[in-house]
Amino acid sequence: MKQTFRILLVEDNENDIELTLEAFTQHGLSENIDICRDGAEALDYLFYKGNFANRTIENPILILLDNKMPKVTGIEVLKIIKQDNVLKNIPVIMLTSSDIDKDIIESYNLGVNAYVVKPVDFEEFIEAVKTLGLFWITLNKVPR
Amino acid sequence: MTKHIVSIKTKLRRLMLLLVAIELVISLSLHLITDIGKVQNRLQSQSILYAELLSEYCIAPMTFNDSAAVYDIIKKVEVIPKLLAVAVYTNTEELITLYSKDSLIVIPRKGIENTNNSGIFSKYFTKTQTIVYNNIQLGIICLYVSKQEIKESIINDIRWSFFVSIIIAIVGIILIEIFQRKISNPIIDLLETIKTISSTKNFNIRTQSNTNDEIGVLAEKFNEFIEQIQKKQAAEIIAKQEIENLNKELEERVKQRTLQLEQSNKDLESFAYSVSHDLRAPIRHIDGFTKMLESKLPEKNEQIQHYIDKIHESSKNMQNLISDLLSYSRIGRQELQMDMIHIQSVIEEIIETYQQDTQDRSIEWIIHNIPKIYGDIRLIRLAFENLISNAIKYTSKKEHAIIEIGCNITPETIEIFIQDNGVGFDQTFADKLFGVFQRLHSDKDFQGTGIGLANVKRIIQRHGGSVRAEGKENEGATFYVTFPKKKK
């Protein structure tokens, strides 16, 4: 597997970041993860603004979005990504603990590629991350 | 039905005519009785006078047996109209001579006709008188006296009576006409007023009758009565208005309360929701970090492993609780998608899903025919999953479990029951079964969060139905869910 591609993880909770990273580590992907700690930072990252004005690394091939975040929520970030001509082709996965119907419906309406409720059981969570990686990074094809 | 109406006027006229007729009969009778008597007496005395005079005149000719002279004497009666005939007889009642103006009168030759008291309808009566001179009877004279005078008197009486009666009748009818107007006009006015009020419901109308008799009193009382009705009606309208206002106010209040309730319900739901979600993250973290801790343990330590297992177990329980709480909250908010459900096959499908978990147990299923019900299949499935898994769970300590599912149908409802021979419960606590987080068994005996039956109740109630349970400790439990039949 190429080591150059990036996966963007947008997550405000440190514990979740640590656990998610652990899951990716178990699948040997920890080096490919970029982390943004809220929606605003994610937008800076994606649109080369603020701290990321001079980002040299290429756009991520997968974006994992938490929803409930300070400043800008995951759904708001999703909306902006899907309205952008360049970014809209990047698969976006809502990775969140919320399974409110309203959020799920809204996410799909905005063009989310997958909606995953984080399993409480850690082993199941690791399994889920593995499945996600396998599908979206290895199997799924996106327009170049 | 319409009654044949005879006006007061007609009735009065009839009465008047009856009175006139009675008057006619009475006055005529009285007149006749008195007049006939009078005329008869007069005739009698006159005829006696004539008889005596004639007998006096006849003495001389009779003494000389000169019948021609006798005839000359009696012929003189021709100028007296009421004397129709005169006959003279011997003492032995043999006719000597006669004079008659009326050939229709038959005068006997022998024997004297004595009709002094003949009936009123006979043409004449007779009057006899002896012809006596110096106490010697010379013969008998018989006068035929006409009753014409009596007849004329009767006819006169009848004429007069009729004449008087007709005058009385005419005067009476005129008087009745006047009185009738005085009597029946106020009644007609009253009647017209009543008719108008009855048809228009206008209680402002009053009758104008103000006579000084019973009808006047009636009219006055009627006006008072209508006035009372009018007042009552006005009061009723005011009362109705007040009730309407109160109703409107009440409706408004109910609306506001409903809005408030809906809002607080919504608040509660969103609170439960967000709490549930915010609680999930820490549990996930606890579970995750415990797993990581476990993997970093340098060596196997039973004590540590026991604690770690406990932490996993607890976080698992907490997660179940939150999931159930979420499902409970969702059931309350979810829009119902109603359709006819083949509930029997739903039940059979649910039982099928538990086959794997219960293959090492002895469970006897008795499923009766159940008709289709009207409901939201997602929620109904959830409810029956709960009920069936409960039946499986609470019979787990039985060597041979029997679970029976059937229904009772009434004209309005379909009641489905799920009966088991499991651990049962104390009927005293039956009402606690369906409460949120209410449990009748310890977690050690039977695992559970205490949400399942609360969900069942909520689902069935949202379908307009009801739930109840019957049970006996160690003998089993029966759960009844009742659905209203779909209205056609």
Taking only the tens place, the pLDDT of each residue in A65-92 is 998 888 888 999 999 999 999 899 999 9
Q: Is the dihedral of CA B201, B205, B206, B208 positive or negative?
A: negative
In this complex, do A122 and B281 lie within 8 Å of one another by their Cβ atoms?
no
Show the domains of chain B with their CATH numbers.
8-170 (3.30.450.20), 337-484 (3.30.565.10)
In this structure, is residue A143 part of a structural domain?
no
- Which domain range does residue A38 map to? 7-137
Q: A17: nearest CA in chain B?
A: B285
In this structure, is residue A117 part of a structural domain?
yes
Confidence band for A106, pLDDT divided at 50, 70 and 90? very high
| Residues in B touching A20 (Cβ below 8 Å) | none
- Cα–Cα distance measured from residue B246 to residue B240, given in angstroms and rounded to the nearest whole number: 10
Report the pLDDT value the prediction gives residue B117, as an integer from 0 to 100.
58
In this structure, is residue A142 part of a structural domain?
no
Report the pLDDT value the prediction gives residue B317, as an integer from 0 to 100.
84
Is the pLDDT confidence value at A2 over 50? no
Report the pLDDT value the prediction gives residue A3, as an integer from 0 to 100.
52
Among the partner-chain residues B273, B281, B288, the one whose CB lies closest to the CB of A100 is B273
| Residues in A touching B290 (Cβ below 8 Å) | 122
Residue B479 contacts residue B403 (beta carbons within 8 Å): no
Report the pLDDT value the prediction gives residue B488, as an integer from 0 to 100.
54
Mean pLDDT of all residues belonging to chain A = 88
Among the partner-chain residues A19, A97, A101, the one whose CB lies closest to the CB of B280 is A97
Among the partner-chain residues A19, A98, A99, the one whose CB lies closest to the CB of B288 is A19
Report the pLDDT value the prediction gives residue B418, as an integer from 0 to 100.
94
In this complex, do A16 and B281 lie within 8 Å of one another by their Cβ atoms?
yes
Report the pLDDT value the prediction gives residue B166, as an integer from 0 to 100.
86
Residue B436 contacts residue B450 (beta carbons within 8 Å): yes
CATH number at residue A118: 3.40.50.2300
Report the pLDDT value the prediction gives residue B44, as an integer from 0 to 100.
86
- Cα–Cα distance measured from residue A76 to residue A42, given in angstroms and rounded to the nearest whole number: 11
Q: Which two tokens stand for residue B50?
A: 């004539």
Q: A22: nearest CA in chain B?
A: B292
Report the pLDDT value the prediction gives residue B119, as an integer from 0 to 100.
66
Report the pLDDT value the prediction gives residue B58, as an integer from 0 to 100.
86
Instruction: Identify the contact set of chain A against chain B, taking CB-CB distances under 8 A.
Output: 13, 15-16, 19, 22, 68, 97-101, 118-123, 125
**Residue B122 CB coordination number (10 Å):** 9
Please choose, from the candidates B295, B349, B68, the residue with its C-alpha nearest in 3D space to the C-alpha of residue A25: B295
In this structure, is residue A60 part of a structural domain?
yes
Collect the ranges in chain B with pLDDT lower than 50.
none
SS3 state of residue B422:
coil
Total domains present in chain A? 1
**Residue A42 CB coordination number (10 Å):** 29
**Distance (Å) from the C-alpha of residue A27 to the closest C-alpha of chain B?**
15
SS3 state of residue B306:
helix
Report the pLDDT value the prediction gives residue A1, as an integer from 0 to 100.
44
**Distance (Å) from the C-alpha of residue A96 to the closest C-alpha of chain B?**
9
In this structure, is residue A2 part of a structural domain?
no
Report the pLDDT value the prediction gives residue A92, as an integer from 0 to 100.
94
